[in-house]
Every structure is written in structure tokens, then in C-alpha cells.
Structure 1
Amino acid sequence: MLRRAPSWRDLGVEGDLPESTGSSQNLAWTGSPAPERRGDKSKDAGEQPIFTTKAHVFQIDGNTKKDWIPASKSAVSVSFYFDSIRNTYRIISVDGSKAIVNSTITPNMTFTKTSQKFGQWSDARANTVYGLGFPSEQELTKFIEKFKEVKELTRQAAQTQLKQMETNGGVDSHILTQSKNQNLHQRTSSLSSIQTDVGNLRERRNSFTQGGNNDLPSSTSTEAQLKYENDRLKLALAQSSANAKKWEVELQTLKNNNARLTTALQESTSNVDEWKKQLAAYKDENVRLKKKLLEVDKGGSGGAENSHKVAQLTEQLERLRHEYHSKQEEIQRLSAQIEELKASEGQSSALQARIKSLEGENQSLSLKLQDSQRQLQESRTQAEQEQREILRLQEILGAKISELYETHESIVATLKHESNS
């Protein structure tokens, strides 16, 4: 619904609110405003709203850069005004005695439709984003069309202002082209070009002051030169302001990037929490496996006893072997004695009986040795089985530990990736 609101100056927003602006494209026509003419009735007519609608007004949260903060409790009037003094168009909305929107439209501003009944635009100088919620999609469409129309008028006004500066100030086409394309340069080159222009102006001013044009009267030449110098200084000042506002836009972009990175960091934090839970589960599993391994080690004390038994049997076997070798040596010694005492039959009979006794003992020792070897083999077989079981459990534990390590490396790599992005 279209409504006709009172003058925006009558609403009390003249000079109390900071004027907003876009990027540097509108600075070519930001020269000195036209002086106010007292008694000019057309001024009051130009301050009447050219379009009015009802909408809920929101502003972006300066801290989160994501949430919307309501600027009005209910739908309020949102109007387009034309400021005849500054030759600009504004969007103004007042809730009671408080001006909640005072945004100057620039040629590069864009109104974005984000949902069926909601739209927004960014005001770089005010360092905020305004949002409007309309009662219907038709009202939103009308507002967007009016926004585009006013933005086109602003662009045409900027071009007209440039042409007037070219005609009145004697600015040549080369300087105008340099002014229009200056926004494509870097900051340092922009500042150096401004300093060069100011230096050239000073040199020309000195040359006119010292020599001047002998063909024209002195007063006319001085007035023309001062006017030309004034226009050049305005152009240099406008270019400097353009660079400053371009930096403001870059600052806003950095803030938006910071907000996106904050969101990504929050998502990464939530993922890290999930990974921590998974890591805790793996740690519990690791503790359980360690306890099981300790139980196996405790259960393997029988294996230690078997090992002790094997050692005893081995020692006994070595002792039997030593006795066997001793008996063998004794048999050899006795055999030598038999050879020496063959002449003595009685002694020979006794020695033969002794040999038979020693051979019987030797056979008995051989049987004991075989039995000890069998027991030793059985003990070794049992010990090997227990060793294989322990190795199997160690392999399971090693696999779990490797899995935990890979999970840890994955978490660290993900955190580094999220931090770098």
C-alpha cells in the first residue's frame, strides 16, 4: 500500500543521523552541494516522499553478523526521499520520534530479495545491513522496482555532475577518464596520483601567479585560474574520498569473511566434540584390552611355573648326562684295568660283575634320560602354545593402538585443515 509521508526534514532526521554511502563509484559527483536558496518553494516540494510503504525494519547484529535485530516493534513507514540540497536520494524510516533508517542510495547499491517477503541491502558507511519484512510479495516487488528506479536516477545524476564539471571547470577528457578508471588501481598508486595532481596544480598556480596570460585582463585570468584550480582540487579530494570508502568496503568484506570463518570454527568445534567422544570410546576399549592382557599375564603364571619346571628338568638332564659321561669314563677305566688284570681270573670275574652292574646302571640312566627328554619336550610344547596365545593378544592390542593413532592423526589433520581454510 502506498502512503504519503511528511517531509523527511519534518521527521527530525536532518543532520542527526550519519549519512550512509556505498563504495567509491558515486564519488565523482560528490562536489560541493548547491547552496540553499531561501524562499525557494520548490525545496519543500522536493522533500516530499516519492514512494512510501509499510514494512518491519531489521538491522544485522554487529557482533554475530548473522542474526537480525528488530528495529521496530511493528510495521512502520519506509519512504524514498529526494534531497534537493545534496542532490541525493534517501531511504528513511521513523518509529515514533526515532529515525531507525537513514540510508543514502548510491549507484552501486543492491537490494537483494532473500525470501518471499523479505529483502535487504548493505550500507557500508553506516557499517550495517538493513532488512525489510513486507506484508506481501507484491509490496516487496514494488519496493525493489522503486529501488532500481532511484538507483538509476542516482547514476544519471552522477553522470550529469561529471559533465557539468567538465564544462564549467575545463577538465579535459584525459582527466575524466583517469577519474573514472582510478578505482581499478591499488591504494598506493591512487595516493601517488593524487599527490602528483596536487603538485601539478601548485605548479600551474605559481606559473599563473608569476606570469599569467598577457592576452586577458589580470582579474579575469586570475578568476579563471582559481576556478580551474578549485575544480582540480575537488577532483583530487573526491578521488581521496573514493579510496577511503573503498577501504571501508574492504573492511566490511573482511568482517563478513571473519563471520564465515567463525561459523566454520563453530562447526569444526562440534565435529571435534564428536571425535573426542569416539576417542574416549577407543580409550575405554584400550583399557579393557590392557586389563585382559594383564589377566592373561597373571594366568600365564602357570606358564612361569612350567618354565621353572622345565629349567629343573633341564638341570637334572645335564646332571644325568654328566653322570653318564662319568660312568662311561669309569667303564673305560675299568675296561683298561680288565685288560691289565686278565691274568688274574678272580679279579677279572669281579671286574666283569662290576661292568655288568655299571652297564645296568647305564641302561637305567639312559631310560631316565629318555624320560626327562620326553618331559622336556612336552613342557616346551606347552610353553610354545602359551607364547602363541600371548602373541595373538599382543597383535590385537597393537591393532587397536594403531587404530587409535590413525584416529588421532585424522583429528589433527582435520583441525589443521579447518584452521587454514
Structure 2
Amino acid sequence: MGEQPIFSTRAHVFQIDPNTKKNWVPTSKHAVTVSYFYDSTRNVYRIISLDGSKAIINSTITPNMTFTKTSQKFGQWADSRANTVYGLGFSSEHHLSKFAEKFQEFKEAARLAKEKSQEKMELTSTPSQESAGGDLQSPLTPESINGTDDERTPDVTQNSESRAEPTQNALPFSHSSAISKHWEAELATLKGNNAKLTAALLESTANVKQWKQQLAAYQEEAERLHKRVSSGLMSVGLAASEDL
């Protein structure tokens, strides 16, 4: 992508924990450049940030996105295509407000571009395939992300930046509640089955114990009968010998 950034600032980058959907996970060790880009090929606006050579933000702005200020220096937005929530911690409230203004501006531009594209499709009756907005057309470099001094806000040195900590009230995912209820139902079923198995095992153990006791009693009774029979036979034998 050969376009230069149309607005740049610096911030600490976070993403929502994919497991808990509640806690923030930092994706940059220090403040990095976060830039707005316009992709003329696809007629979309994107937010992109690199940490070294790694792209830690590549978010296509859509008309239904909302940037929310959760504190004086922290803001966030949900990206359904990336299935995550991004968070940015700024060095000042001014930088946060400026970024939020640009977000709203480019969101409106994205809405107008989408409407214009739909009108064009209706006139030509030629459907166009929408490509995935999250793919980079060409490798980005830190130099292309940073842009020119006129295009980005004045940088604040890393040592002087006060890191804004994210709040824990991240935007909820619509599907997280359904997933949670599903697993709660599964857990309840497993607990019920486990209780039934435990009861059956206890009953089986009690039956085995009872059978062992009955077997021991039968063995004792058989032993007594055997002794009585043996004793009776001996008595009969002695009586017969005396008669002779």
C-alpha cells in the first residue's frame, strides 16, 4: 500500500483477552505510532500500527463502528472482522480527543463511500466482491507508518509519556453471552451425570459388601454342616463295628 498516513499519533496499544473477554492484554511494550490510512484501491479507511515489523493493529473502519472514551486518556473500539476489541492509551486527553474526532470523521467518510459504492452497483447492476479489509496489500514499514511531520501530531518522547491504563469495562461481545450459557448448560449436565454415576457406584459397592457377607455366612454354614455330617458318619461307623 503506497498511501501515506492521513493522520498519525502515538499511544500504547491493547487488545481484549480472547479467553476472558474482560481483561486487557498489552500488545506493545511502549507507545507506538497509530495511523489512519485511506486505501484508494478498495475505497476504505484503516487504522494501522506497527511494533517493529509486526502489525499489531490492522482494522478497517466500517459505518457501524464506535470509538468509546472509557477514561480521560483511554479509548476503545470493537472490530467484528478481527473478532477483538482494540484499546489505546494516550499521553494526554487532547491526543485521545483528536483521535476520537478523526475516527468519527473517517467513519462518516466510510459510510458515504459505502453508499456511493452501492449506488454505483445499482446503476451498473454489476456485483462486486468485497475483499477482506484486514489484508495488507504490501508489507508496511515503520517509515511508511510514521508519515511526514505535517501529517501527524507532534510526537511526545517515550520517557515523558504517561501511560494510560485501560479500564476493565470493555465492550461486550454479542456472542459471548450465548457461549457462556451454552457451557453453563453443559456443565450442569455433566454435574448431573456425575451425581448419578456416584450414586450408582455407592450402591454397587454396598451390594458387593452385602454379597461378601452372605457368602461368608454360607461358607460358615457349609462348614458346620460338613462337620456335622462327618461326625454322624463316624458315629455310625463305630456303632457298626461294636455290633460285629
TM-score category, normalised to shorter length? 0.5 to 0.7
Structure 2 distance, partners of 1:135, 1:258, is 36
Structure 2 distance, partners of 1:256, 1:152, is 30
Q: How big is the shift at 1:133?
A: 0.4
Q: Equivalent of 1:123, from 71, 79, 90? A: 79
Paired residues for 1:333-352 under 5 Å: none
Q: Structure 2: 5+ residue runs without aligned partners?
A: 133-172, 184-244
Q: 1:253 aligns to what?
A: 174
Q: 1:313 aligns to what?
A: none
Paired residues for 1:97-112 under 5 Å: 97-112=53-68
Instruction: Label 1:71 to 1:147 Cα distance change in 2 as closer, same or farther (>3 A).
Output: same
C-alpha RMSD over aligned residues: 2.5
Structure 1 position 138 matched with structure 2 position 77: no
More strand by share: 2
Structure 1 distance, partners of 2:33, 2:181, is 33
- Any idea what the Cα deviations from partners look like across 1:50-76, whole Å, max 9, x if unmatched? 100000000000011111000000000
Structure 2 distance, partners of 1:88, 1:118, is 25
Q: 1:318 aligns to what?
A: none
Paired residues for 1:20-59 under 5 Å: 44=2, 47-59=3-15
Q: How big is the shift at 1:125?
A: 1.4
Matched to 2:73, the amino acid is K
Q: 1:157 aligns to what?
A: 113
Instruction: Label 1:138 to 1:60 Cα distance change in 2 as closer, same or farther (>3 A).
Output: same
Structure 1 distance, partners of 2:101, 2:65, is 13
Report the 3-state secondary structure (helix = DSSP H, G, I; strand = E; otherwise coil) of the residue aligned with 2:122: helix
Larger Rg: 1
Contact in 2 for aligned 1:65/1:259 (Cα 8 Å): no
Structure 2 distance, partners of 1:109, 1:80, is 15
Instruction: Label 1:121 to 1:260 Cα distance change in 2 as closer, same or farther (>3 A).
Output: farther
Contact in 2 for aligned 1:111/1:121 (Cα 8 Å): yes
Give the length in aligned residue pairs. Answer: 143
Identical-residue share of aligned pairs (%): 61
Q: Structure 1: 5+ residue runs without aligned partners?
A: 1-8, 10-43, 170-230, 242-251, 263-421
Structure 2 distance, partners of 1:259, 1:73, is 32
Matched to 1:49, the amino acid is P
Structure 1 position 167 matched with structure 2 position 88: no
Report the 3-state secondary structure (helix = DSSP H, G, I; strand = E; otherwise coil) of the residue aligned with 1:103: strand
Q: Where in structure 1 do 4 or more consecutive aligned residues deviate above 3 Å?
A: 256-262
Structure 2 distance, partners of 1:61, 1:95, is 19
Q: 2:217 aligns to what?
A: none
- Any idea what the Cα deviations from partners look like across 1:305-363, whole Å, max 9, x if unmatched? xxxxxxxxxxxxxxxxxxxxxxxxxxxxxxxxxxxxxxxxxxxxxxxxxxxxxxxxxxx
Q: How big is the shift at 1:259?
A: 5.9
Q: Equivalent of 1:82, from 38, 44, 51? A: 38
